Amino acid sequence: MPTSSDPATVVILGTVSVAAVIAVIVLSLVLARVVRERDRLKLFGDRLKERTDRTIAEQHAEIASLARFRDIRDAAATADQLRSASKALYEGTQRKTQEIIDEAERAAREITTKAERDAAWVLEAARQKAAAVRKDANLDAKTRRERADSVLADASAQAERIIASADRRAEEIAGDAYRALQEADRLGEVAEAMRNVIDGYGDRYLKPTFGLLDELAETYGFDDSGRQLKAARERTSLMVEEQRAATCEYVEAKRRDTAERFVVDAFNGKVDTILSRVKTTNYGVLEQEIRDAFALVNQNGKAFRDARITREYLQARLDELTSATAIEVKRQEDKAEQRRIREQIREEQKAQREIERALKESAREEESLQKALAKVQAEAEQASEAQRAAFDARLAELHARLEEAEARNQRALSMAQQTKAGHVYVISNIGSFGEDVFKVGMTRRLEPLDRVRELGDASVPFGFDVHALIWSEDAPALESALHRDFMREQVNKVNPRKEFFQVPLAAIRRQLEGRGIQASWTMAAAAAEYRESLALAKQLAEDPEKAREWTHRQSEYDLSTVYDKSESEDRTLANA
């Protein structure tokens, strides 16, 4: 067994010592490089954070300088200045934030890439050292394996520490960038709110309200919508009482409470004013106004140790808006339904009066024709052969007229007995609504064209063209079936009671023929007044003399209309 004084043992120990020293030196050099690189990246990260803080401070200063313009409404030059400044602030914020994020990502990638490279270099040096240890012929197999594993384990641990340190630093830098992004988003909301205050909201925030009732009905019935609004108001009041409506960074309780009350009162004052203007058509605009008030109040609260309204309280007040708008939508729908019912009653009353008048007229006509027929028959019996031919012709004419009168009487009687019998009409008005827009409706009047003329009297500039009149024993059912067939083509997507559809006339005809219903169709719309108006407008534009004559005639017509109305009013007052 070799001893420590044995020359071979001395050589082996010397070789191992040299290898250990080399490994220690290599690891020391690597560690020194890693420390220097860590310090350099830490300095870079600190500078990056300093730049981020400075950018945010500059944006705060710009917002503060814009705040004095918030209440200016009538100064156009100042409004333009604010628009430009707000736009520049928003775009600059986005650009700077993106630059910060890109730089942070590059720094993080650089840190991790460098750490991985250094770790790989340490591991490769360790593998080479381990390979040298394994090849050392002076060591037994077990010792070679243990020393090689020890070198690799130490190197792996060192590599893991390098990568872990790099990951932590990268996360710190990424966290700074993320916080900068959040602050930039908040400042963007403030800039947008100030731009909305100056420019107005226009149509950018319009939202359809027909879905609000559906959402409300999922949990509450329509009769409970008022209770839902009341519950929403109670919830916001409770949040204020429990001090969950706002938060603040003041440590002293009294100062904190004062600052929180300040922002809550300011926010609630704005929101209450907004909610007082609830209509069915401005839901989206009011929602954005509340969000803008939230952004501006929180921006002003920065001066009080970041006193701000909580997101939870903002959502509670938005829920109030949703409930209030749903109630208003329901109220307007109820009014529209009442108007529709009144219109239906008036239409039914007109139809009933027409039927009663037709029954009376047909009865009188039948009686008159029967008397005339009896008289002619009596005269025919006493007439000569030469006169009989004329009497026979007269009798035939009276019989035909009597049959027509009886048919009209029977039809009027049938309509009086059958409350669903009537006409379904298909009409258009190119001058008012354009091509391929048709109204599909029904009327129970004996003269359906009277109803069509009423529709084209004063509400539209031109009269309607009739394309088809379809008699039906159940006119409401046929009308509803056609409305269902062309549901996707209805012009008014919000109010299904509007009976206008944008669809080719041939499609309506095919649908009716598919149901086995035959009718007389007029496929081309005359639109006489509309086409004449277009032609006349062209002539007036080309012929100044004709334009002067037309203007003179129109002026005389307008004056005569005024005089006629005045005389009519005078007669009405005199009769009264």
The predicted structure's pLDDT at residue 214:
46
- Compute the distance between CA of residue 460 and CA of residue 431 in angstroms, rounded to an integer: 9
Q: What is the pLDDT of residue 467?
A: 92
Distance CA 329, CA 282 (A): 11
Q: How far apart are CA 260 and CA 309, in angstroms?
A: 8
CB 65 within 8 A of CB 177: no
The whole-angstrom separation of Cα 347 and Cα 454 is: 11
pLDDT number for residue 495: 76
Taking the C-alpha atoms of residue 195 and residue 79, their distance in angstroms, rounded to an integer, is 9
What is the Cα–Cα distance from 298 to 187, expressed in whole angstroms? 10
How far apart CA 402 and CA 383 sit, in angstroms, is 23
Nearest CA to 499 among 391, 556, 427, 431?
427
Q: Are 245 and 310 in contact (CB under 8 A)?
A: yes
Angle between helices 141-199 and 76-135 (to 10 degrees): 180
pLDDT value for 535: 87
Which pLDDT belongs to residue 337? Answer: 73
Q: Which residue has the tokens 């403030």?
A: 190
Copy the structure tokens of residue 556: 């005389």
Domain edges within the chain: 7-199, 210-334, 422-532, 543-576
Q: Which residue, 263, 324, 319, is CA-closest to 294?
A: 263
Token representation of residue 301 = 């609260």
In 3D space, the residue among 231, 212, 183, 207 whose CA is nearest the CA of residue 289 turns out to be 207
Token pair listed for 96: 């700077």
Residues 317 and 312: their CA atoms lie apart, in Å, by 9
CB 423 within 8 A of CB 469: yes
Give average pLDDT by consecutive 10-residue segment, the chain, 576 residues.
49 49 58 64 64 65 56 49 59 62 65 67 66 59 60 58 63 56 62 65 51 45 65 86 90 90 91 88 90 91 90 91 85 76 73 75 79 78 73 78 77 66 91 92 85 82 91 89 92 82 93 90 86 88 87 72 48 42
3-state secondary structure 141-183: HHHHHHHHHHHHHHHHHHHHHHHHHHHHHHHHHHHHHHHHHHH
Per-residue model confidence (pLDDT) at position 449: 86
Q: What is the pLDDT, as a whole number, of residue 576?
A: 37
Check if the beta carbon of residue 302 is closer than 8 Å to that of residue 207.
no
Please write down the HEC assignment for all residues of 79-147. Answer: HHHHHHHHHHHHHHHHHHHHHHHHHHHHHHHHHHHHHHHHHHHHHHHHHHHHHHHHHCCCCCHHHHHHH
pLDDT at 429: 92
From the list 433, 231, 233, 225, the residue with the least C-alpha distance to 332 is 225
pLDDT of residue 16: 46
> How many degrees, rounded to 5, is the angle at CA 31 between CA 27 and CA 34?
140
* pLDDT at site 504: 93
